[in-house]
Amino acid sequence: LSLVGRGAGFVAVAASGLVSWRAVEQGVFSSGSGPAYSAWEEWQTNPSQPLDLVRAAVLAANAHDTQPWLFRASPDRIDLYAVLSRNIGAIDPLRREMYVSLGCALENLVLAAAAAGRPTLVQLLPDPGDSIHAARVQLGSGPRQVSALYQAIPDRHTNRGPYDTGRSVSSSVLTKMRDLIVEQDVALVWWTSTDDRKRFADLTVRGAQAIANDSEQSADDFRWWRGTWSAVQSNKDGVTIDASGLPPVIRALGKMLPGQTRDSYEQGFISSLRDTELPTASALGTIVVRDALNNVQRMAAGRAYERMQLWATASGLAMQPLNQAVERADHERQAGLQQSFGSELAELMPESWMRPVMPFRLGYPTVQGLPSPRMSAEDVTLPALRPT
Ligand SMILES: Cc1cc2nc3c(=O)[nH]c(=O)nc-3n(C[C@H](O)[C@H](O)[C@H](O)COP(=O)(O)O)c2cc1C
């Protein structure tokens, strides 16, 4: 070999070494493993202790994977608290998504308690003067009731990939999902007409664009982006490449390339919404409540969403919330601006009492949804209060 040839060989070996090093460092081969994902393993199919019930609760859907919760577990009671510092700031200025997220966690908790033979009595906002104390769950004792919804908890993942455009969701599925909602002041709206679907899709893309153009909202959005493997593992929260729904090769490339800027993040987000998520949705709909500022109704909506997504998971369906238009409506309301997104959303409501709090899409998946990071039950559970 000539010296030049040897030199080129050395450079090639060194470069491939660097590439492999970067691949390992960025977790290209490690999706779903490490401390940030161990909560999915610690899940127990046979819960018995109150802490096991929290293990189920922390796996629930929650806005931006902020996990805005704290639990206090006692032998006969679990209290749930909102953690305001884990709010998404300007993206959720009215804390709507925060309370919907707490409701999602409650639903998993109640399903796990039933599976453990601990029937529950749930009191939402037990102390009306204290909005931080979100719920008190009293645990009784009774026969174990292991439901299909409970068993779907570890398989439920928000799926942001393309849905199968060749397979529509039947109207009986839409009816069954509507029937899952038993909460007072909560209902489900399906946008089935071409015109409604188009209006919602346009509004959602415009919402995402408005968020990208709003420096405060886009900064608070980007704050939860975990672009490196070490950020994923140390924070155990936030939005990740693995949960993006991209095909494996693109995900690997995304991990290898230098970090995203806020602008590239927002632009990628808008194009996925406009070109993949909305056009491949089989069904579009929203959970509505009577009073969108009422935390009891928001938590009830969260329970309903989690139940629907667990049912969808058990039925081979995929779901993804799409909150951009409502996030803009909340922002307008908070900032005292003229309600533009708010009034367009109101026009999409079939009945005047309905306020949208959780729009989403539904369909048959073409790619598997991957888990998002989680703090463990131990990370978010306070010890029992001593009896006074
Ligand atoms: C109240 C609420 C709002 C959400 N809004 C969106 C959204 O607008 N777009 C999206 O892709 N996911 C949204 N999600 C899904 C969360 O990002 C997701 O639940 C979280 O990252 C955890 O991932 P997992 O559901 O796969 O466990 C939302 C979830 C909740 C509970």
pLDDT score of 108 more than 90: yes
Tokens 């608290």, residue located: 81
Which residues form the pocket of ligand 1, taking CB atoms under 6 Å from any ligand atom? 61-65, 97, 100-101, 104, 157-158, 160, 243, 320-323, 358, 372
Contact 295, 99 (CB under 8 A): yes
Six-digit token pair at 337?
């601006």
pLDDT score of 13 more than 90: no
Six-digit token pair at 169?
């969701």
pLDDT of residue 10: 55
The ligand 1 atom nearest the CA atom of 62: 31
Interval between CA 79 and ligand 1 midpoint (Å): 23
pLDDT score of 254 more than 90: no
Nearest CA to ligand 1 atom 2: 63
Distances (CA, A) of 44 to 53, 54, 171, 220: 9, 11, 35, 34
Query: What spatial distance separates the first Cα and last Cα of the chain, rounded to whole Å?
Result: 83
> Pocket of ligand 1, candidates 309, 323, 324: which has the most ligand atoms within 8 Å of its Cβ, to mutate?
323
pLDDT tens, residue by residue, 263-305? 988 999 999 999 999 999 999 999 999 999 999 999 999 999 9
pLDDT tens, residue by residue, 59-84? 999 999 999 999 999 999 999 999 99
Contact 365, 308 (CB under 8 A): no
Question: Greater confidence, 98 or 45?
Answer: 98
Mean pLDDT of 42-52: 85
pLDDT of residue 1: 47
Nearest CA to ligand 1 atom 4: 63
The ligand 1 atom nearest the CA atom of 305: 31
Interval between CA 323 and ligand 1 midpoint (Å): 9
CB atoms within 10 A of CB 234: 13
> Pocket of ligand 1, candidates 31, 55, 58, 64: which has the most ligand atoms within 8 Å of its Cβ, to mutate?
64
Question: Greater confidence, 385 or 56?
Answer: 56
CA distance 230 to 93: 29
Mean pLDDT of the chain: 93
Interval between CA 252 and ligand 1 midpoint (Å): 22
Contact 180, 319 (CB under 8 A): no
State the DSSP H helix or E strand holding residue 289, giving kind and residue range, or none if neither.
Answer: strand 283-289
User: Binning pLDDT at 50, 70 and 90, where does residue 15 land?
Assistant: low
Six-digit token pair at 379?
């990370």
| Least confident window among 42-46, 169-173, 183-187, 220-224 | 42-46
Interval between CA 189 and ligand 1 midpoint (Å): 19
State the DSSP H helix or E strand holding residue 74, giving kind and residue range, or none if neither.
Answer: strand 69-74
Interval between CA 371 and ligand 1 midpoint (Å): 12
Interval between CA 372 and ligand 1 midpoint (Å): 10
Interval between CA 239 and ligand 1 midpoint (Å): 9
pLDDT of residue 54: 97
Contact 120, 96 (CB under 8 A): no
pLDDT tens, residue by residue, 365-386? 999 999 999 999 999 999 776 5
Give the burial class of 289: count Cβ atoms within 10 A of its Cβ; 0-12 exposed, 13-18 middle, 19 or more buried. Answer: buried
CA distance 381 to 49: 13
The ligand 1 atom nearest the CA atom of 327: 8
pLDDT tens, residue by residue, 224-238? 999 999 999 999 999
Interval between CA 144 and ligand 1 midpoint (Å): 30
Nearest CA to ligand 1 atom 17: 64
Percentage of the chain modeled with pLDDT above 70: 94
pLDDT of residue 388: 45
Interval between CA 222 and ligand 1 midpoint (Å): 14
